[in-house]
Chain A
Amino acid sequence: MSALVVARNTYREAIRDRVLLGIVIAGFAVLALTQVLRPLALGEGLRLTIDLGLSSIAFLGLLVVLLVGAGLVSKEIDRRTIYNLLSRPLPRWVYLVGKWAGLSTALWVVAAALGFALWALVALLGHPGYAGSIAEAVYLEGLELTLVTAVAVFFSSLSTPVLSALYTAGVFLGGQWCDDLRMIAGHFPGAFARVLEGAADVMPNLTLFNMRTLASSGATTSALHLALATLYALLYCGCALALGAAALESRDFK
């Protein structure tokens, strides 16, 4: 119950933050831009619209995570607002889960709003049948953002907002290039290869959440893929939040 109270407060903070409003406006602007660029796409206008629209959701969502999520805990410590919460019967891990859940909810709302706008645009262009593939792609992007938020919250409980943002961006990029890292590891000998493989193992495999190419051609994915991606995201979030909670548990608030 306390986690819900913290989550509601974090959601409120995110929704009332101008950053989020700016991101939503930027998302709509990108959708408008795709219509300007359509004539240049040599007959692939629909594919361009869906691909750019879905990419903008992922990119702008990542911006929110870096700008808001990376300072989610550390800013509360710097501003001492955390004193008013942790001096109540609120376990620190519940506080952390609440912060993560609140920002994740805000990101889901943004992703859903931009996804709906994308589908509406595609339907206006005469292709209402893309609803399923766009919905699946947006769902997977929502999962990806939820996972990256958990990573940001973990770093935020350890470090400053700027460093947390840098580390989170690093994990995001590493997660996108997980398979490439493994491939590169094969070209190096011994210890260095093992380091690269270890890094690839620790990084979240974010390619699992990318079905932009599929969606832009109107294809859908399997229920098994969606279920596995959901389970993977939840497990990774659990691990990141458990580590974050352990770090926060040992902290002194001077």
Chain B
Amino acid sequence: MPSVVSSVASRTVAGQRPPDGARPASGAAIRTRGLAKSYRDNWTLRVKVGLSPLDLDVERGEIFGLLGPNGAGKTTTLKLLTGLLKPTQGRAWLMDVPAEDVRSRCALGFLPEQPYFYDYLNGVEYLEMVARLSGLAAAEATPQARHWLGRVGLSGRERVLLRKYSKGMLQRLGLAAALVHSPELLILDEPMSGLDPFGRRDVRDLILEQRERGVTVLFSSHILPDVEALCDRVAILLGGRLERVATVGELVSARGGSVEIRCAGAAVVELPHAFATTLRRSERPGETLFTLSDASLLEPVLAWMVESRLSVRAVIPQRGALEEVFLAAAEASANAASAEGVAAAGDTRRSA
């Protein structure tokens, strides 16, 4: 299991950024310092922020998830790392090589969101080409192309033109293209998009297999159960701003804290007044289920149950789902934004 807790990722603090050109200490597979992107509309000249200054470290060997709604800045971040976008400010390093240097992409496998392909090529031709572009010799490229085509479940379709591939097959091919040169770092933008449940399972297995090989994986996804199942750590991006970085465990346990207590038979006791707001009772066939919303009260509640001669079968701590955490963060961010808007409008009226 890779070390995941030691890594640090924090929001940018103005004035604490290293100067441009300064190379941060090595170790991280991906490192960004003040990485930002804004776009200017050529007609209105208005500037739109795609990504606010971002400081982020993804440690070698970990699976790191980028979470956020549409327009949160996930794809912008990934494109800045892969050189498809030029940053407005700040810098990024991949495996300690500056992202603006094409050599940083030697060890990189990238799957863009909804990948597009040359429809006049077949699967093997396409994979051979991208393998060669990633530095594989011709003699290696062909066997690797065939291997990865089979590995993503497309064997037997080597000579089929890509225009005849389904959406799911193209997504699998994109994944094979990202992996064909055995990269040390994988960046996947919505890798599960367009896949059926079997495809999603295969991609999950493939990502976990890569982690076993020591590959670092950074991926963005809307599918929260996949993120929860795969990631060592996640970052939540909202409105182009990094809201939070933590391990999945930290995120869900901070949100959680409730405990489920199962007792045999129907409990004929009255809930004490002290637990009236924190303890809920529900009857199920053959058992009574108590849900304690505040885990810190577990000890007195259990003491009361023993006193009341309830037969406790199981005490199960409940973890909050990542979805709840994500939605809460999004809601908090939206509330903060609207509060700022109201305050700004008030200031404008006062000054008028």
Contact = CB atoms under 8 A, between A and B. Distances in A.
Interface of A: 1-2, 5-6, 8-9, 12-13, 16-17, 79-81, 83-91, 250, 252-254
B83 interface: yes
Contact of A80 (B83, B103, B112, B129): B112
Given A5-B133, A16-B120, A87 B115 contact: no
Interface in B302-351: none
Contacts of A16: 120
A169 B319 CA distance: 66
A81 B85 contact: no
A8 B138 CA distance: 13
Contacts of B125: 12
Contact of B133 (A80, A83, A89, A252): A89
Contact of B102 (A83, A90, A250, A253): A90
Given A80-B112, A84-B177, A89-B134, 13 more contacts: A5-B133, A8-B129, A9-B121, A17-B120, A79-B116, A84-B112, A84-B115, A87-B105, A89-B102, A90-B102, A90-B105, A252-B85, A254-B79
B275 interface: no
B86 A252 contact: yes
Interface footprint category on B: 20 to 34
Contact of B130 (A88, A252, A253): A88
Interface string B72-101: 000000010011111000000000000000
A12 B120 contact: yes
A-B complex: 10 closest residue pairs judged by Cβ atoms: A87-B110, A87-B82, A253-B84, A83-B112, A80-B116, A88-B133, A16-B120, A5-B132, A89-B105, A89-B106
Interface in B113-142: 114-118, 120-121, 125, 129-130, 132-135
A80 B86 CA distance: 17
15 contacts: A5-B133, A6-B133, A12-B120, A13-B118, A83-B116, A84-B112, A84-B174, A86-B84, A87-B82, A87-B108, A87-B110, A89-B102, A89-B106, A91-B102, A253-B79
Nearest to B141: A5
User: Residue among A5, A83, A87, A254 with the most chain B CB within 10 A?
Assistant: A87
Nearest to B110: A87
B84 A83 contact: yes
Given A12-B121, A13-B118, A88 B105 contact: yes
A12 B114 CA distance: 24
Interface string B49-66: 000000000000000000
B156 to A, nearest CB: 22
B121 A83 contact: no
A39 B256 CA distance: 94
Contacts of A84: 112, 115-117, 130, 174, 177
B116 to A, nearest CB: 4
B118 A252 contact: no
Given A90-B102, A90-B133, A253-B79, A13 B120 contact: yes
A85 B84 contact: no
Nearest to A82: B84
A83 B106 CA distance: 15
